[in-house]
Structure 1
């Protein structure tokens, strides 16, 4: 009986996929750039870990921290942005998180690579720093692509917010009178 009543009006839920792939072409490019960021920061970290002795170890440790944390956090961000977990985390400002994270990591990676290459003595250290520079370039490319496609995410629609007594955001004058006679 229940099958006759509900059978024609209900449809089974389609299986949801774990991965929500990028839909737009530029989003696919940015997903690829994020994959390159993960790969390059991982290679920089592995090459840095292969260094056995150092002259200025503080530069090595700083580069190690930046390369390892950028690898792990970029991988986490990649998983969150392109999976169903994006909706379950509860973050509503993903563009701000993505843009801010990529900008900050670019600056840290560039700084750590410059400091590390200035104190490097071996070819292994120089190659780790080279991958650090390549990773920082990938983060810069991601920031530029994001900015070109979506603008600066910390501004609200690129329009200035109206102040008290200022012009409305859409530029149209107010048409309703305050004290209209009835």
Structure 2
């Protein structure tokens, strides 16, 4: 009897990723990699940057459009970057890539986006035409930038709190007085 016939009935060529209660797309998606506080902040980043972008897109006329265009670029970029980081934390890519690199990328993306969003919100608030949509976009922009920056400070706090590895003591191979 050939080996293929013996093992064919008991083994699967490509077993599915999930068995049991979670199957399909739900098997690939998890929210457990982020602590509850950070998950809420990531979701707030996503929602607030999207709301800022939507409110800014509703604006039909502008006198000084530089602030509006800069805010548009920053709010759209912030939404896409926060969506990207949330997706990376929630799918198996996080396990395939070094988690330290994901956290490092998240750190720099969060601080950079928060600072640029804050600058864009300030610049837009100085050049707006006082329409309701512009004021709403500015409010959502400031809220989103503060959420990004608070997430950054939480990451700094968690980084300082975790124990640092100690350097091994140097061993002397030859006498010092020789």
Q: Which residue of 1 aligns with 2:24?
A: none
Inter-partner Cα distance in structure 2 for 1:47 and 1:158? 47
Inter-partner Cα distance in structure 2 for 1:23 and 1:72? 20
Q: Which residue of 2 aligns with 1:21?
A: 31
Q: Map 1:55-134; keep pairs closer than 5 Å.
A: 55-88=63-96, 93-121=101-129, 122-134=131-143
Shift of 1:151: 3.1
Q: Which residue of 1 aligns with 2:154?
A: 145
More helix by share: 2
What number of residue pairs does the alignment pair up?
Answer: 158
Q: Deviation string for 1:12-54 (max 9, x for gaps)? A: 7761721122256xx2210111011000000000000000100
Shift of 1:82: 1.6
Given the alignment, which residue of 34, 37, 41 partners 1:33?
A: 41
Inter-partner Cα distance in structure 2 for 1:158 and 1:113? 40
Structure 1 74/58 Cα, relative in aligned 2: closer, same or farther at 3 Å? Answer: same
Q: Give the conservation status (yes or no) of the 8 Å contact 1:44–1:132.
A: yes
Under a length normalisation based on structure 1, what TM-score does the superposition of the two structures give?
0.75
Inter-partner Cα distance in structure 2 for 1:117 and 1:177? 66
Inter-partner Cα distance in structure 1 for 2:153 and 2:58? 32
Inter-partner Cα distance in structure 2 for 1:143 and 1:31? 13
Structure 1 14/54 Cα, relative in aligned 2: closer, same or farther at 3 Å? Answer: closer
Q: Which residue of 1 aligns with 2:52?
A: 44
Under a length normalisation based on structure 2, what TM-score does the superposition of the two structures give?
0.76
Structure 1 158/39 Cα, relative in aligned 2: closer, same or farther at 3 Å? Answer: farther
In structure 2, runs of 5+ residues without a counterpart are 20-26
Structure 1 158/91 Cα, relative in aligned 2: closer, same or farther at 3 Å? Answer: closer
Inter-partner Cα distance in structure 1 for 2:100 and 2:42? 20
Provide the alpha-carbon RMSD of the alignment: 2.9
